[in-house]
Structure 1
């Protein structure tokens, strides 16, 4: 949830964020943040959100995680969570 208005932020699934994922991961690494994205085949078979982004370290005071049904949804949620944590990714 966004802190300012107490409601969920909207994801832009047409932003092409999945195309920039490797650039985002590289940029995070340059900031001292360890980050990864993965897909879980078991969760996919069960119809649950199968994609997970996780990050910790650097300027993040605590680790974070974001899940989604697609790579785009997962990364969109991850970028929102990173922004809420004060780390604005320039992509």
Structure 2
């Protein structure tokens, strides 16, 4: 695990996990993990989960993907999958 570089999310009791997404992506990159989050307007228009998180490399043995209807749902699923793969994100 790498040393923290003084980045701490501001506590916002009304906000959700989306507030920490850039910190999460940066921390994953520091671990050697390639990661991204995206939204697909075509899937949104079709009523399908439009948000996707994808990651591979670093300590992940296999690539992973998580989809969700909202950014919060997608990130929650992604963090659970990362934890199951042994990557515990500290946010």
| Same-fold call, TM cutoff 0.5 | yes
Q: Which runs of 5+ in 2 are unaligned?
A: 1-13
CA distance in 2 between partners of 1:16 and 1:26 (Å): 18
Which residue number corresponds to residue 16 of structure 2? 16
Which residue number corresponds to residue 37 of structure 2? 37
Which residue number corresponds to residue 73 of structure 1? 73
Over aligned residue pairs, what C-alpha RMSD do you find?
1.2
Q: Which runs of 5+ in 1 are unaligned?
A: 1-13
Aligned length: 78
Higher relative contact order (CA 8 A, sep 6+): 1
Deviations 1:4-54 (A, max 9, x none): xxxxxxxxxx87211000000000000000000000000000000000000
Q: 1:89 to 1:55 in 2, by over 3 A?
A: same
TM-score normalised by the chain length of structure 1: 0.83
Q: Does 1:57 align with 2:57?
A: yes
TM-score normalised by the chain length of structure 2: 0.83
Runs of 4+ displaced beyond 4 Å:
none
